[in-house]
Amino acid sequence: MRRIAVLVTELERLEAKFAAKNEASPDQLLLYGRTANTLRRLLEAVGLQQRQRDALTFGGLIRADQDAERRRLAHEQQHIDEGAE
């Protein structure tokens, strides 16, 4: 787990460097790729594996927001109805 933490920290440091300079050299990208691969292998070794997730789309986010709002309104209406009894 310590090695995993070190690699995550190093990847974050490289990402910050890339963002600050708005560029990365081929050697830096190679180091980043190797580090990310090593991290993946270590995570798999401790039992953490990638799982496929549904991709978020703008339309999906809007539908999820609308569904949440409908549930909230239905919950409020239920409390109003219970109070009227």
pLDDT band at 61 (very low <50, low <70, confident <90, very high): confident
Does residue 55 contact residue 27 with C-beta atoms inside 8 Å? no
pLDDT band at 23 (very low <50, low <70, confident <90, very high): very high
DSSP 2-52: HHHHHHHHHHHHHHHHHHHHT---HHHHHHHHHHHHHHHHHHHHTT-----
Question: Where do the structural domains in the chain lie, given as residue ranges?
Answer: 1-51, 53-85
pLDDT band at 16 (very low <50, low <70, confident <90, very high): very high
- Supply the mean pLDDT for the chain: 89
Give the mean model confidence (pLDDT) for residues 41-58: 81
Residue 9 scores a pLDDT above 80: yes
